[in-house]
Amino acid sequence: MSLPEFDFHAPGSVDEACRMLAEYGPKAKIFAGGTDLMLDMRRRRILPENVISIPGIEELKTLDLSSGMLKIGSCVTIARIVKSKEVAGKWGALCAGGKALGSCLVRNLATVGGNIASARPAADLPPPLMVYGASLVLKKTSAERVVSIDHFFTGTGATVMAPDEILTEIRLSEPPPHSGAGYLNLGIRNACDINILNVASYVALDGPGGAIKDARIVMGCVAPTHVRVLSAENLLLGEKPSEALFERAGEAAMNAATPRGSAYSRASAEYKKDMVKELTVRTLGMALREALGPAS
Ligand SMILES: Cc1cc2nc3c(=O)[nH]c(=O)nc-3n(C[C@H](O)[C@H](O)[C@H](O)COP(=O)(O)OP(=O)(O)OC[C@H]3O[C@@H](n4cnc5c(N)ncnc54)[C@H](O)[C@@H]3O)c2cc1C
């Protein structure tokens, strides 16, 4: 199917892109890797009169670790995240999310910003980004604001971003010592499949072999947005990690999940709920092993 007609713009800086967005407002759409946008335009789900292409903007392509924090420019591709030894070393669950996304060809084009901004509940990066407590930098001509990713998604395909704002950067603090995270996704095929379910978990221990002092569990595909499972997180806090504890957390996550089963989602609600428990227990195990270090 051919693309509808549109005017193409290639700004050279974020400021120029912001000015264009301010001028065209809801009649414009940002083009990053185009892997979601082009399909939506071909299928006439989105019909922007102006397409503003941003992958040529250098300042959006930096992957910076210099400030003790990981700063990911929104146009950094998934392939770069997957290949980065620094990301794999400290934010392994994010790297796992990247590896699960699409195929090699898709990962070479698709951007981190696009995966977040498209706000699909099955997307691979939001769960790991949420368990690492990511912040998102949103810019427009007159202002910049930083929002927690926990408050970014408002519904399927919907976010707090205004039509004249650009997501420019994703910020992650360095995980503390004795912490770890895990990510797992479940689909029908291994690649290029829409997830049936995805879960990320994070735990931080109060010293080697200590109690759990911080925990985050995020699941996707069970609601219109990715959701944190506060009931399961609270159950873990202050407790010594054990298989029995993780089983209870898995059950709490299962009880909190409200998936819709349908032909489209390719799995029944009951199956998804069972798998929420399984993936929660497994990702908590992955997180604990990382928190305990190589000797565990
Ligand atoms: C064959 C195939 C397989 C796929 N498999 C997966 C998969 O396994 N897992 C998965 O999560 N996704 C998958 N996707 C979806 C897609 O590749 C990802 O969501 C990708 O990360 C989107 O990034 P992009 O740069 O291509 O975004 P684009 O298509 O360029 O943009 C997506 C949306 O976000 C907006 N946008 C993009 N960047 C910004 C920004 N910086 N500021 C404001 N708005 C912005 C755009 O206007 C558009 O509405 C797949 C897609 C295809 C075609």
Q: Write the CATH number of the domain with boundaries 7-53.
A: 3.30.43.10
pLDDT for res 268: 85
Q: State phi, psi for 286 to the nearest 5 degrees.
A: -65, -45
**Which residue has a Cα nearest atom 28 of ligand 1?**
34
Residue 68: what pLDDT? 83
Burial category of 116 from C-beta neighbours within 10 Å (exposed 0-12, middle 13-18, buried 19 and up) = buried
The alpha carbon of 135 and the centre of ligand 1 are apart by a number of angstroms equal to 19
pTM reported for the whole predicted model: 0.95
Check residue 185 and give left, alpha or beta (phi > 0: left; psi -120 to 50: alpha): beta
Maximum CA extent, the chain: 60
**Which class in CATH covers the domain with range 179-291?**
alpha beta
Point out the residues of the chain with pLDDT beneath 70: 188-193, 261-265, 295-296
Of all atoms in ligand 1, which is nearest to the CA of residue 31? 30
Look at the domain 61-173 and name its fold: 3.30.465
Query: Which value, to the nearest 10 degrees, does the dihedral of the CA atoms of residues 219, 222, 225, 231 take?
Result: -50
pLDDT tens column, 228-254: 999 999 999 999 999 999 999 999 999
pLDDT in tens, 49-74: 999 999 999 999 999 998 889 999 99
Q: What is the pLDDT of residues 74-93, one digit of tens each?
A: 999 999 999 999 999 999 99
Per domain, the residue ranges of the chain are 7-53, 61-173, 179-291
Distance of CA 153 from the midpoint of ligand 1 (Å):
15
Q: What is the structure's pLDDT at 296? A: 62
Q: How far is the CA of 292 from the centre of ligand 1 (A)?
A: 35
In this prediction, residue 265 carries a pLDDT of 56
Ligand 1, atom 18, residue with closest C-alpha? 115
Substitution site in 76, 77, 101, 197 for ligand 1 pocket (most atoms within 8 Å of beta carbon): 101
